[in-house]
Amino acid sequence: MGGEVKVSRRETVFKEISPSEFFYRNRDLAGFSNPSRALYSATRELVENALDACEAAYILPDIFVRITSADLDGTLPDPKPYLLKVQDNGPGIEPKYVPDAFARIFFGSKFQLKQSRGMFGMGATMAILYGQVTTNKPVSVTTSVDGEKAYSFEMMVNIRDNTPLVLNKSVKPALGKTGISVQLTLEGDYSRAGSKIQEYFKQTALVTPYANILFIDPNGRLFFYERVTEKMPKPAKETLPHPLGIDLEALRRLLRESKESNLKKFLSKNFHRVGDRIAEDFLRYAGLDPDAKPQDLTNDEIIRFGSALHSYDGFLPPDSGCLSPLGEELLAAGIEKELQPEFITVVQRPPSAYSGFPFIVEIGLAYGGKNVEPGVKLLRFANRIPLLYDEANDVSWKVVNEEIDWKRYKIPQDAP
């Protein structure tokens, strides 16, 4: 509490921090707020990357996951350092991309409009960064794209500069196996996170009946989710944005970079399910000249264009061609295999869009049998991502909980 009030004229100190530095300081934003949550998030992010890699290449996934206490006899109390290893049989990634893809925030393969799992394309790097700041240990990544040579990298993140720091690099024979293996050390709390991690594997197994997933936990318990079908959903494709989901920034970029000579062509080349007829009708509705050059629109015209995109009701709903739902047959197979209920019903909803991202919700209901708790078990998946209880930062979670009126489906929103 001061006496005399005086005005100070010290100059404010400004500085810039790197993306890694930002997420190092705010790691809770990305799901790494404490050792329990971090162990769960790290496991989940690496497993989803592994499944995405296999599915994008149409390879039946064999995923191996192991969590081990870093102390030799495992007797230290939680929280403590754990080793987390996740290995897949996907196509691998070219060795030259490994340092940036794993040890650099905002560098990745998921920054496109295509269905994939995972969190904003930065989950693996967040896991590595969290491991580093809590244990000071490097991550080890091994990749093989040809099954002949396997390249291993020991790396840390140079957090201040957001650059990878390769400590060691080696090559050995891949013995015919392609794919990626990641091993990192991080502070975790398996006694708290264990049941949630197990539940995640169980739900994931439900939607990947075409995968073998082997998980060994720190207590030596072995969880094996076995492949029951060799049918896989077809890979997701990159897609054009749906006109209803486009914001003014995206519209401005498309217009400025357009190679089309007029607005009518611009619309039909750049948007999902917009053909000549709809383009003409829309431009009439918006009061825009079909022959105007896309590059020449003024700011005010862009604003009018954008408002009209949101209010025009003649656009077609997204089609599912770019999406990769599981399908009713595979979902039923997954539920049958994991729960063996007396009664199963599965439903696939029509595709919809959220902020330009198309998605499909699939729902399974199971009832009866010794593995299902009393009452109806409701399972919900958006773009094949299981919707667990507190994944509130997940795009799919938002889709399902904010955008869908569950009551319309006669399902109360707080159903299990």
23 versus 266: smaller Cβ distance to a second copy: 23
Nearer of residues 291 and 329 to a second copy, judged by Cβ: 329
Using the rule CB under 8 A, is 168 a contact of a second copy?
no
Find the binder of a second copy among 35, 91, 95, 334 (CB under 8 A): 91
Residues 71/97, Cβ–Cβ less than 8 Å: no
Q: Where are the alpha helices (DSSP H) in 226-292?
A: 248-256, 263-270, 276-286
Among positions 216, 303, 308, 332, the unique one binding a second copy when judged by CB under 8 A: 303
Q: Among 351, 346, 348, which residue's Cα sits nearest to residue 320?
A: 351
Nearest residue (CB) to a second copy, 215 versus 356: 356
343: contact with a second copy by CB under 8 A: no
Strands 361-367 and 377-382: antiparallel
Task: Work out how close the CB of 352 gets to a second copy at its nearest, in angstroms, rounded to a whole number.
Answer: 17
Query: Interface with a second copy includes 205 (CB under 8 A)?
Result: no
The nearer residue to a second copy, 7 or 222, going by C-beta atoms, is: 7
Of the candidates 317, 246, 306, 245, the residue with the CA atom closest to the CA atom of residue 278: 317
Nearest approach in angstroms of CB 121 to a second copy is: 8
Does 286 interact with a second copy (rule: CB under 8 A)? no
User: In terms of DSSP bridges, do strands 212-216 and 149-158 run parallel, antiparallel, or are they unpaired?
Assistant: unpaired
Exactly one of 17, 166, 171, 316 binds a second copy (CB under 8 A); which one? 17
**192 is a contact residue toward a second copy (CB under 8 A):** no
Distance CA 73, CA 108 (A): 37
Cα distance between residue 72 and residue 75, in whole Å: 8
Q: Is 133 one of the binding residues for a second copy (CB under 8 A)?
A: yes
**Binding-site size, a second copy (CB under 8 A):** 73
C-alpha to C-alpha distance for 104 and 60, rounded to whole angstroms: 29
Residues 316-335 that bind a second copy (CB under 8 A): 327, 329-330
- Asked whether position 347 contacts a second copy by CB under 8 A, the answer is no
Least Å distance between CB 173 and a second copy?
Answer: 20
CB 21 to a second copy: min, Å: 8
- Smallest gap from Cβ 95 to a second copy, in A, equals 12
8 A C-beta contact, residue 125 and residue 157? yes
72 lies in the site for a second copy, by CB under 8 A: no
Q: Which one of 10-18, 194-202, 360-368, 371-379 is the stretch in contact with a second copy (CB under 8 A)? A: 10-18
* 258 contacts 308 by C-beta, under 8 angstroms: no
φ, ψ dihedrals at 392, nearest 5°: -70, -15
Of the pair 49, 68, the CB lying nearest a second copy is at: 49
For residue 128, the minimal CB distance to a second copy (Å) is 12
As measured in angstroms, the least distance from the Cβ of 299 to a second copy is 6
User: Which residues ranging from 221 to 260 are in contact with a second copy (CB under 8 A)?
Assistant: 230-235, 247-250, 252-253
Which residue in this structure is represented by tokens 């109806």?
376
Q: Read off φ and ψ for residue 126, nearest 5 degrees.
A: -60, -40
Site for a second copy contains 389 (CB under 8 A): no
Residue 94 interacting with a second copy (CB under 8 A): yes
- Candidate residues 29, 166, 316, 415; the one interacting with a second copy per rule CB under 8 A: 29
- Stretch touching a second copy by CB under 8 A, among 1-9, 190-198, 280-288, 375-383: 1-9
- The widest CA-to-CA distance across the chain, in whole angstroms, is 79
CB of 337 to a second copy, least distance (A): 17
Query: Which range in 7-15, 43-51, 273-281, 381-389 contacts a second copy by CB under 8 A?
Result: 7-15
Q: Please, is 334 exposed, middle or buried when counting C-beta atoms within 10 Å of its C-beta (0-12, 13-18, 19+)? A: buried
Note whether 295 binds a second copy by CB under 8 A.
Answer: no
Question: What DSSP assignment string belongs to 297-354?
Answer: --HHHHHHHHHHHHH---PPPPPGGG-----HHHHHHHHHHHH--SEEEEEEPPPEEE
Residue 77 lies near a second copy (rule: CB under 8 A): no
* Phi–psi pair at 266, nearest 5 degrees: -55, -45
At residue 405, φ and ψ (nearest 5 deg) are -85, 95
